């Protein structure tokens, strides 16, 4: 629980800081908050996202894959390798989806390197930054580091769905943001999140005296 809350707190506060700055600069305009709808969205989104996205993806990628690569390639190699696997996963999923659709006789979106409807340039960049941020959370100090990446993953999904897809998802609170500003804000708060985790790691690094002991 401590690790999960650490991931939520660091990612949520970083998003609040960056979106707050964007709002002050006039880049973001928020709708009025409908508290009941917003609360219901956060609850249902958390349940679905944890079961289908945050937990399985973190267990397989920042859990098993990262640990296996770290034994062979070290920390940097494991971080890059895990992020590379994360980058190709969406494209591979479109192939699997098309194959299953063909077996079942169901029409599916076209296969591609990125999911249908996503920007072919920005989406890979976002995945790289997001993947490295999740590795930073995974390697952060304190108990439950894998749960820190799960908390970061869930918070990222929640923030983006409210800020960028609020109207379509009926979140009870949404924002109007120009596409170029949306990209900067999204990458910006991920960068701040990663920086905070890295600073925590440096701050908690044992001294030479502690190593000697």
Question: Cα separation of 148 and 45, whole Å?
Answer: 18
Q: Is residue 209 part of a domain?
A: no
User: pLDDT tier at 32 (50, 70, 90 boundaries)?
Assistant: very high
Q: Is residue 187 part of a domain?
A: yes
Q: Note down the domain range covering 95.
A: 2-7+37-200
pLDDT of residue 112: 63
pLDDT of residue 212: 34
Determine how β-strand 28-30 pairs with β-strand 175-177. Answer: antiparallel
Question: Cα separation of 65 and 48, whole Å?
Answer: 23
User: pLDDT tier at 158 (50, 70, 90 boundaries)?
Assistant: very high
User: Among residues 153, 158, 198, 160, which one has the least CA distance to residue 63?
Assistant: 153
Q: Is residue 145 part of a domain?
A: yes
Q: Is residue 13 part of a domain?
A: no
Number of domains within the chain:
1
Q: Is residue 47 part of a domain?
A: yes
Q: Is residue 59 part of a domain?
A: yes
Q: What is the residue-averaged pLDDT of the chain?
A: 87
Q: Is residue 207 part of a domain?
A: no
Within 10 angstroms of residue 208's Cβ, the number of other Cβ atoms is 7
More reliable by pLDDT, 33 or 92: 33
């Amino acid at each position: 629980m401590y690790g999960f809350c650490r991931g939520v707190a660091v990612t949520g506060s970083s998003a609040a800081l960056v979106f707050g700055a964007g709002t002050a600069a006039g880049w973001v305009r928020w709708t009025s908050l409908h508290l009941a709808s917003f609360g219901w969205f956060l609850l249902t989104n958390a349940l679905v996202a944890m079961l289908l996205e945050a937990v399985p993806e973190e267990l397989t990628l920042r859990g098993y894959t990262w640990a296996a690569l770290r034994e062979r390639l070290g920390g940097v190699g494991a971080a890059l390798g895990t992020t590379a696997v994360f980058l190709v996963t969406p494209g591979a999923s479109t192939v699997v989806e098309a194959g299953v659709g063909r077996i079942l006789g169901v029409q599916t979106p076209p296969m591609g390197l990125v999911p249908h409807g996503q920007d072919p340039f920005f989406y890979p960049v976002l995945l790289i930054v997001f993947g490295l941020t999740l590795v930073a959370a995974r390697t952060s100090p304190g108990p439950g580091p894998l749960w820190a990446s799960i908390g970061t993953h869930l918070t990222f999904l929640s923030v983006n769905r409210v800020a960028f897809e609020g109207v379509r998802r009926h979140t009870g609170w949404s924002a109007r943001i120009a596409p170029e500003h949306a990209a900067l804000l999204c990458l910006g708060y991920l960068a701040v999140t990663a920086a905070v985790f890295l600073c925590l790691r440096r701050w908690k690094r044992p001294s030479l005296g502690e190593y000697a002991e």
